[in-house]
Amino acid sequence: MRLPVLAALATVALLAGCTTATPAPHPSTPVSAAPKPGDGVLRVGTLFPTSGAASYLGPALAAGAALAVADLNAAGGVGGHPVELVARDSGDAATTTLETSFADLVAQGVDVVIGPASSLLAARLIPLAAEAGIPVISPAATFPDLTTADDDGYFFRTIAAYGHQGLALGQVLSEKGPAKVALLYIDDEFGRSLAPTLTDGLDEHGSTLVLSQAIPPGTTDLSITIDQLKQAAPDAVVLGSTYASVDETKALITAVIGAGYGGAKLWLTTQNTGDYSQALPIGTLAGVNGVIEGYPADDGLIARLKTVDASLGAFHYAPESYDAVVLAGLAAEQSGDDGAAIAGSLTDVSVGGLKCGSFAECLPALQAGDNVDYDGVSGPLNFTPEGDVSPAYYGLYAYDGENRFVFGRGVLAG
């Protein structure tokens, strides 16, 4: 958004046929641009798990946010003032730590919140944040229902929504030519969000979804489903289920592989690609594929994250956490450090302007009144009107002989 430019105006009197002297113009008085909303200091709150079942994710998320704040301040801060970081524990869904911590962040005067990692906690936070007028940017919450949550425009995420992976799978499964694909999914919000995007992704690349079979939760007899699978005779099978249905997932995997669709013909999805070394007989998943949303931290970013926390051994969601802070900083630089102003500018600084890859690189363009399009360490970050990102980055994995998934390559889709 361009700052108002005030040009000095001089009035010239043209008196034809008159010798009266023209009065000298008075020097114009400089007029300052209207102040931006906020108190001039961007305060970034974080809600990452330092306690509870998901606390293993906390250190990488915290390091990503802290590194980003350090980079913003090294570039001169936001609005010429240092950015402040206020970190609090999100806890897990079994506690009310989230609500207590958010209330404290509000009391501390934060302007934006980065987190939480849990989709369940994000759903609980959204109405509180909307009421407080504080935008929330989650680096890790992927539940599909968050896209349609009543958030008044205050919820964003730098990680892809669950259903978006269908576009990536459609692209990857078509790389060797048109393919026939079957989707078997547990009939819940996840599976129902995956079916339409997989159809779209396959259609776009000349492939076909020949079977889309919803399986009611709790189903133990899969014989009819397997018969339908064999009749469809696909080239590849995609399984949509979640960690919450691990027994159903194991049964489905076993049945599909038993029907002759193991190895490279089988694809697991983002909520069931995990370590099965203790859950299934050794070798069961050898050659099976998996997909997980998010950008693996590269060596350069890992080295920088370790300057924040030397003990880090895992880096999942750190790139998305870093980019969430940078986007908040760019939005505040553009429109002010008030929560509503940040929420209103997050999309602007993510898409449609001059491409830039860091806060330091974007800052001069913003200060010159230009729009920017930040592409970060987690890839392009174009916010949709719903606060999701599209396109999105995915890691593609293959299982080894011990049922552990190993990173192969990445793909950008959407």
Statement: residue 4 has pLDDT above 50: no
Statement: residue 249 has pLDDT above 50: yes
- Cα separation, 326 vs 108, in Å, equals 21
Shared domain for 201 and 286, answered yes or no, is: yes
Shared domain for 208 and 305, answered yes or no, is: no
Range of the domain at 92: 43-160+297-383
Backbone phi, psi, residue 252, to 5°: -65, -45
| Lowest pLDDT segment from 20-34, 55-69, 103-117 | 20-34
Statement: residue 12 has pLDDT above 80: no
Shared domain for 146 and 222, answered yes or no, is: no
Shared domain for 47 and 150, answered yes or no, is: yes
Number of domains in the chain: 2
Statement: residue 255 has pLDDT above 70: yes
**pLDDT tens per residue, range 370-394:** 999 999 999 999 999 999 999 999 9
Give the count of beta carbons closer than 10 Å to the beta carbon of residue 10: 9
pTM of the model: 0.89
pLDDT band of residue 356 (cuts 50, 70, 90) is very high
Statement: residue 20 has pLDDT above 50: no
Q: What is the mean pLDDT of residues 295-305?
A: 95
In angstroms, the Cα distances linking 37 to 42, 79, 339 are 11, 11, 9
Q: What is the pLDDT of residue 33?
A: 57
Return the CATH number at 232. 3.40.50.2300
Shared domain for 280 and 401, answered yes or no, is: yes
What's the mean per-residue pLDDT of the chain?
91
Find out whether 389 and 378 touch, Cβ atoms under 8 Å: no
Residue 340 lies in a domain: yes
Shared domain for 48 and 151, answered yes or no, is: yes
Residue 125 lies in a domain: yes
Q: What is the pLDDT of residue 243?
A: 77
Residue 27 lies in a domain: no
Q: What is the pLDDT of residue 245?
A: 84
Q: What is the mean pLDDT of residues 111-123?
A: 97
